[in-house]
């Protein structure tokens, strides 16, 4: 299982893989052609309320992770998309794309941890 995180604004990874955008909102200033996204799983992203509360504040990150995991556990659609990501990662390299500027505190990291935990 190979899972890679990448900001959608960064140059595409030359190693390729299945590129999945995991943000609820399309990234500003990026065209569909530039993004080179294979799939957009917007339902797996945190709720708007949780995103706004968290606001990428490092001091809230641990609490955010718990709330986000609860949202995934309590949502049939989010759980389904998590399983889809897991299947993709079993067969080929999976690139989780996100738009957040904060590369150390974001929901894509939580998704990667959940996927690697379920191996």
d(CA 64, CA 40): 22
Q: What is the pLDDT along the chain (119 residues), one digit of tens a residue?
A: 699 999 999 887 777 889 999 999 999 999 988 888 999 999 999 999 999 999 999 999 999 999 999 999 999 999 999 999 999 999 899 999 999 999 999 999 999 999 998 65
Q: Give me the phi and psi of 49, to 5 degrees please.
A: -65, -45
Alpha carbon distance 43, 22 (integer Å) = 8
Per-residue model confidence (pLDDT) at position 119: 56
Q: Across the chain, which distance is largest between two alpha carbons, in Å?
A: 36
Sign of CA dihedral 56, 60, 96, 11: positive
Rounded to two decimals, the pTM is 0.92
Residue 85: C-alpha distances to residues 19, 31, 53 (Å): 10, 23, 26
Tokens at residue 113, please? Answer: 């941890």
Q: What is the predicted pLDDT for the residue at 70?
A: 97
Domain ranges of the chain: 3-117
What pLDDT score was predicted for residue 118? 64
DSSP one-letter code for 21? E
């Amino acid at each position: 299982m190979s899972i890679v995180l990448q900001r959608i604004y960064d140059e595409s990874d030359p190693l390729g893989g299945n590129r999945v955008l995991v943000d609820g909102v399309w990234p500003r200033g990026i065209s569909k052609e530039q993004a080179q996204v294979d799939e957009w799983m917007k339902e797996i992203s945190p709720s708007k309320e949780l995103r706004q509360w968290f606001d990428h504040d490092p001091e809230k990150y641990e609490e955010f992770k718990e709330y986000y995991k609860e949202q995934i556990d309590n949502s049939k659609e989010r759980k389904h998309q998590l399983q889809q990501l897991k299947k993709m990662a079993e067969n080929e390299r999976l690139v989780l794309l996100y738009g957040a500027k904060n590369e150390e505190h974001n929901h894509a990291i939580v998704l990667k941890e959940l996927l690697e935990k379920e191996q």
